[in-house]
Amino acid sequence: MASIAIENLAHSYIENPVRDADYALKSINYEWTDGGAYALLGPSGCGKTTLLNVISGLLTPSQGTIQFNNRNVTSLPPEERNIAQVFQFPVIYDTMTVAENLAFPLANRGLDKTEITTRVSQMLETLDLSTKAGKRANKLTADEKQKISLGRGLVRHDVNAILFDEPLTVIDPLMKWELRTQLKEIHQQLRHTMIYVTHDQTEALTFAEKVVVMHEGSVVQVGTPEELFNEPEHTFVGYFIGSPGMNILPVTVDGSHATIDGFPVSINGFYTPSKDARTELGIRPEHISIKATNGTRSPDYNELPVRVKRVSDIGRQIVIAVTLGNHTINLIVPEGTSVPEKHAFITFDTERISIFANDRRLSVASSS
């Protein structure tokens, strides 16, 4: 097992990159601690697979270094990095049996027969494939094949890290939940450094102790699920985490006052963004309340007059979309809340407001 440090790492698939947009990865610095469970989260195309392939050695980066336990491995080929990588689609030997597929990486490393048998039968049990041990791999369903791919990654104990690249894509939803839970248990038992790539926030937040959020080739925030929810460092994190995500509204900010489309909103803290910064207010749907309007706006600063656009009951909660001028704002309120039909006032929980300047979160009492 190893810590993995990347420094000033960038990668372009183009021979002579010039613009920022030519880079699939743009100057990334990060250290994965030995034994941690990490998720790499971001939308399709943001560079997750590129980063994983750079770590495993399938790709040589255009710039920067990778170290395992303080040893520079940037120019080492994959087989000398001792990394297990599980891909989005099954990589197995069709002509071997299920058990042989699992035994293969161990036999390759010269483990003795009894040890191999023990490990393989444990892994078969974990994957719920014991009854299929002797079956030829080509006779299996797509999810069974992918489970073997996972097993081939997990069966080795001597690896520096295990990298998973959206490994549950072909698995059906119920099984997904189960495998994710098992992966977490396996991590707790073996304490391998694990990096799990996904575009699905639920997968990332349930698997990982730390989530690395990527956006357009950069790491925009690393945090626990709570940190990402409560204190997004970038508007993208606010918007991407949560369902629906954080409302991001253009505002002008002066000290403890924000103005949205001419409506004043008081905010906690004191912000002095520079004049030319693009400032936005972030508020999560969970942190907005709604009430009926009697037509006149109360002198209370924080009530914003809105029109109710759409109401969706999602079980124990109601998602309401309202409009304030040109902006749509989403709210989540408990089931049973009385929802006005047309006109309403909404109020933001002042304590939960985030202020961003040029997409970066401003700390309370700060300037940009």
If one asks whether residue 49 binds Mg ion (CB under 5 A), the answer comes out as yes
Partner that binds at residue 13, options ligand ADP, Mg ion, none, CB closer than 5 to 8 Å by kind: ligand ADP
With CB under 6 A as the contact rule, which of the stretches 43-51, 133-141, 176-184, 351-359 interacts with ligand ADP?
Answer: 43-51
If one asks whether residue 279 binds ligand ADP (CB under 6 A), the answer comes out as no
Q: Who's near 64: CB < 8 A, 6+ residues apart? A: 6, 7, 8, 9, 10, 27, 28, 74
CB 151 within 8 A of CB 93: no
Residue from 47, 105, 167, 245 touching ligand ADP (CB under 6 A): that is 47
If one asks whether residue 24 binds ligand ADP (CB under 6 A), the answer comes out as yes
Nearer to ligand ADP, 42 or 90 (CB): 42
Nearest residue to 203 (alpha-carbon basis) of 38, 61, 319, 45: 38
With CB under 6 A as the contact rule, which of the stretches 37-45, 285-293, 304-312, 344-352 interacts with ligand ADP?
Answer: 37-45
Nearest-approach distance from CB 197 to ligand ADP, in angstroms: 7
Query: What DSSP line would sit under 20-73, residue for residue?
Result: GGG-SEEEEEEEEPTT-EEEEE--TTSSHHHHHHHHHTSS--SEEEEEETTEE-
Describe the crossing of helices 98-108 and 113-126 by its angle, rounded to 10 degrees. Answer: 130
Nearest-approach distance from CB 12 to ligand ADP, in angstroms: 9
Backbone angles phi, psi at 320, to 5 degrees: -120, 130
Q: Which two tokens stand for residue 96?
A: 């071997």
Amino acid at 95: T
Nearest-approach distance from CB 154 to ligand ADP, in angstroms: 22
Residue from 28, 38, 49, 161 touching ligand ADP (CB under 6 A): that is 49
Nearer to ligand ADP, 236 or 345 (CB): 236
Nearer to ligand ADP, 170 or 190 (CB): 170
Is residue 124 packed enough to be buried (19+ CB in 10 Å), middle (13-18) or exposed (0-12)? buried
Nearest-approach distance from CB 270 to ligand ADP, in angstroms: 38
Q: Which two tokens stand for residue 80?
A: 């000398």
If one asks whether residue 56 binds ligand ADP (CB under 6 A), the answer comes out as no
For tokens 């049990």, the residue is 125
If one asks whether residue 195 binds ligand ADP (CB under 6 A), the answer comes out as no
If one asks whether residue 267 binds ligand ADP (CB under 6 A), the answer comes out as no
Nearer to Mg ion, 49 or 354 (CB): 49
Nearest-approach distance from CB 82 to ligand ADP, in angstroms: 23
Nearer to ligand ADP, 213 or 357 (CB): 213
Q: Could you give the CA distance from residue 15 to residue 2 in angstroms, rounded to a whole number?
A: 32
With CB under 5 A as the contact rule, which of the stretches 43-51, 249-257, 318-326, 337-345 interacts with Mg ion?
Answer: 43-51
CB 58 within 8 A of CB 78: yes
Q: Who's near 325: CB < 8 A, 6+ residues apart? A: 260, 261
If one asks whether residue 44 binds ligand ADP (CB under 6 A), the answer comes out as yes
CA distances (Å), origin 273, targets 60, 116, 224, 250, 254: 40, 62, 27, 13, 8
Closest residue to bound Mg ion by CB: 49
Nearest-approach distance from CB 52 to Mg ion, in angstroms: 8
- Residues near ligand ADP (CB under 6 A) are 13, 24, 42, 44-50
